[in-house]
Amino acid sequence: MSSTALETVKTEVENESSNFSLWLHQIRAILKLEVKKNLFSLRSILIYLLALLPVIICAMIAIVVFLTSTAGGDPRWREEFSQVMATTFTFIYNALILRTVVFFGCAWIFMNLFRGEIVDRSLHYYFLCPVRREVLVAGKYLSGMIAAIIIFSLTTIVSLFFLYLAGYPSSLNYLIHGVGLRHAGIYVGITILACVGYGAFFLLVGLLFRNPILPALILYGWEWINFLLPPLLKKVSVVHYLHSLNPVPMDEGPFAVLAEPTPAWISIPSLLLMSVIVIALGCWKIRRAEISYSGE
Amino acid sequence: MTEMNDNLIVFDNVSKFYGEILGVNRVNLKISAGITSLVGPNGSGKTTLMNLMTGLLQPTRGKMSVLGISPNNPEQLFRKVGYCSQFDSFPRGATGRELIRSYLTVHGYSKTEANELTHKALERVNLLEAADRKVAGYSKGMRQKARLAQSIAHNPRVLVLDEPLNGLDPMARAEAINLFRSLAKEGLHLIISSHILHEVDMMSDSVILVSNGYVIAEGNIHGVREEIEERPAEIMIRCEFPTKLASKVFAMDSVVEARLHKDQKGLFVKTKDADKFYLMFNKLVIENDWGIESVAPADDDLNAVYQYLIGSEGEGKGR
């Protein structure tokens, strides 16, 4: 290779690396602005109220169980109690936390990343910066992820903790020294994956639709009827992959169409791949996006 | 060709339609450094042109480039371009200083650089005192200054300003115009849209007249006036004997109208051929040995050109 060609390659490599460090700097700057907005703006109050719902329900169940149980000292009761609580939490987690709180919470956070700025008429501030639109999508998506993961992981952990508090002190022992802690970790993992999957979907929905509520409700319905769908269609959903990861299997009722749960080594990469494809679509859409607030 | 365009803003047969509604049609422009004003009534397409050149809108047809950079490449474009838009909204809760500084960090500047540039920009638009107040509490004029500061903070080579004098009081207006002039002297391209014609007239090196989505005239304002052949040129002559002068000039072929000024010390002359008139007029003055105080075109300002080309649409907006 001649020295000029070598120089050119070297310059290209240096440019790429300086571009990359610029993008990282820009993502950090966007994160700083957006995380603050996602966690502390007026819009986030709704998310906190939603996130509190399962915590309050679990706390109430715990209080009722604690006050009404009389057989706390019986070791057989203690074992049964832990089993019942594990099943109860799986039900609360899947029906309330995952399918409702995380779903609508992510809808609110991620749809507002772009749609909210269009409604506030402030998106042009980003569009007038020398920033690649893909970098903007990455920054905003990550900021949504950070906010969603913080809020909904806390909801999951605190709800679980309150529920097990009902059988104090023996249940706490189960939680810390038994499989309880491992289960808690898995639930948090599922919550994070849910934020990744739903977040990507709702970010795209917020870019594609002026009124994203309808597509969100359609997805909500689709996720809820997942247990009735044939095995092939089940795979076209987020919740199917998340259910496969549940530490405690959940009874989906007498009408459920049974299907083999997808193993974790397939479901996790599938969900991540699906999210990457959806985010790529979002990038494609934003590259062609125009600022026309009057039409909104 | 590309090298030549590296210092120009180029519109090459650009059209923009909003569905079936025309935004701008078949625009061909080459804008060089200095102050260029976009003039036209509301809805004529001025903002559309600005949004097209900054990539906020995509053209339906045609191509554009700003100093050789496509508006589809924001990463490079906004290193060189600043846009002070008309969108009167700001991120919630931000102070003037935070607004500018945070977006400079998104540009890629370090914290120290961003702080310095923010301070300079706020100083330049005279907004330092209110810099740490929430933008939500700013007056219209202060918000306009904040937008202006944001658009100049990164020292762009092209500054696009959509109605930048809106909401400013007379003092701030004069300051802003001085700032634009000094930026133009530094070699910047300033594209300004305005409907305050006498101010545009005062500061512009060239104008682009837009009406109903079409560019109907462009260039130096006096040049544009000369090209409007169907309207006789109006000339104001100040002298001691306007009545005598009126009788003489009225006899000239090229003169279509001669009218005395209200103070009886001047004469308005309308002529189809200004060059021919000046030639004959000079002869007349020498032959009669008249003392002439001044001779000046009375209708080659922007207001007159605007009225001639755009007509009654613009009435009442000129001042």
Burial of A82 (0-12, 13-18, 19+ CB in 10 A): buried
Model pLDDT, residue B162: 92
- Let me know: does A113 contact A143? Beta carbons within 8 Å: yes
- Looking at the fold, whether B218 and B261 belong to one and the same domain comes out as no
**A166-190: average pLDDT:** 81
Residues B10 and B124 in one domain: yes
Distance from CA of B191 to the nearest CA of A (A): 16
The identity of residue B35, as a single letter, is I
DSSP summary character for residue A86: H
**Would B305 be classed as within a structural domain?**
no
pLDDT at residue number A71: 57
Query: What are the residue boundaries of the structural domains of chain A, listed by start?
Result: 43-295
B70 touches chain A (CB under 8 A): no
φ and ψ of B23, to 5 deg:
-95, -70
Contacts of B91 in chain A (CB under 8 A): 33, 37, 120, 122, 125
Taking contacts as CB-CB distances below 8 angstroms, the residues of chain B near A125 are 91, 103
Instruction: Give tens-digit pLDDT for A57-81.
Output: 999 988 888 787 765 556 666 667 7
Residue numbers of the domain that contains B236: 232-298
CATH at B161: 3.40.50.300
- Asked whether B215 and B270 are in contact (CB, 8 A), the reply is no
Chain A: give the shortest CA distance to residue B229, in Å: 39
The pLDDT of residue A185 is above 90: yes
Q: Which DSSP category does A245 fall into? A: T
Sheet holding B61-66, edge to edge: B21-31, B9-18, B61-66
Specify the residue for token string 């209200």: B262
Q: Is residue B310 part of a domain?
A: no
Best B51, B52, B60, B75 member to test A by mutation, with max A CBs in 10 Å, is B75
Q: What is the ipTM of this complex?
A: 0.79
CATH number at residue B262: 3.30.70.100
Residue B214 lies in a domain: yes
Nearest to B280 by CA among B312, B258, B300, B302: B258
DSSP state of A95: I
Q: Classify burial at B216, counting beta carbons within 10 Å of its beta carbon; exposed 0-12, middle 13-18, buried 19 or more.
A: middle
Do B54 and B170 share a domain, yes or no?
yes
Per-residue model confidence as pLDDT tens digits over A79-119: 677 778 888 899 999 999 999 999 999 999 999 999 988 88
Q: Which residues of chain B have pLDDT under 50?
A: 1, 313-319
How far apart are the CA of A39 and the nearest CA of chain B, in angstroms? Answer: 13
Closest CA to A285 of A194, A209, A220: A209
Do A25 and B79 lie within an 8 Å CB cutoff?
Answer: no
Residues of A in contact with B143 (CB under 8 A): none
Phi–psi pair at B238, nearest 5 degrees = -100, 125
Q: Does A126 touch chain B (CB under 8 A)?
A: yes
Question: Of B226, B242, B276, which residue constitutes the final position of a domain?
Answer: B226
Q: How many C-beta neighbours within 10 Å does residue A182 have?
A: 10
Show residues of chain B in contact with A120, CB under 8 Å.
89, 91-92
User: Quick check: A30 and A136 in contact, CB under 8 A?
Assistant: yes
Are residues B260 and B198 part of one domain?
A: no
Side chain identity at A71, as an amino acid letter? A
Compute the count of residue pairs across chains A and B with CB atoms less than 8 Å apart: 81
Summarised one tens digit per residue, pLDDT across range A249-270 is 777 777 777 777 788 888 899 8
Mean pLDDT on A231-236:
82
Q: Is B33:B188 a contact under the CB 8 Å cutoff?
A: yes
Same structural domain, B198 and B259 = no
pTM above 0.80, yes or no: yes
C-alpha count within 13 angstroms, C-beta hemisphere, residue A175: 21
Residues in B touching A292 (Cβ below 8 Å): 18, 57
- How would you write chain B as a 3-class SS string? CHHHHCCCEEEEEEEEEECCEEEEEEEEEEECCEEEEEECCCCCCHHHHHHHHCCCCCCCEEEEEECCECCCCHHHHHHHEEEECCCCCCCCCCEHHHHHHHHHHHHCCCHHHHHHHHHHHHHHCCCCCCCCCEHHHCCHHHHHHHHHHHHHCCCCCEEEEECCCCCCCHHHHHHHHHHHHHHHHCCCEEEEECCCHHHHHHHCCEEEEEECCEEEEEECHHHHHHHCCCCCEEEEEEECCHHHHHHHHHCCCCEEEEEECCCCCEEEEEECCHHHHHHHHHHHHHHHCCCEEEEEECCCCHHHHHHHHHHHHHCCCCC
Chain-chain contact of A128 with B78 (C-beta, under 8 angstroms): yes
Same domain? B156 vs B263: no
Tens of pLDDT along A11-57? Answer: 666 666 678 899 999 999 999 999 999 999 888 999 999 999 999 99
Question: Are both B110 and B27 inside the same structural domain?
Answer: yes
Judge if B188 and B217 occupy the same domain: yes
Percent share of chain A, pLDDT over 90: 50
* Residues of chain B with C-beta less than 8 angstroms from the C-beta of A42: 92
Domain count, chain B: 2
Same domain, B201 and B56: yes
Query: B315 in a domain, yes or no?
Result: no
Same domain, B151 and B266: no
Tokens of A257: 């169409």
Residue B15 near residue B25 (C-beta atoms within 8 A): yes
B181 and B137 assigned to the same domain: yes
Query: What pLDDT sits at residue B125?
Result: 92
Does residue B222 share a domain with residue B236? no
Looking at residue B12, what is its pLDDT?
95
Q: Do A131 and B57 touch (CB under 8 A)?
A: no
| Mean per-residue pLDDT over chain A, rounded | 86
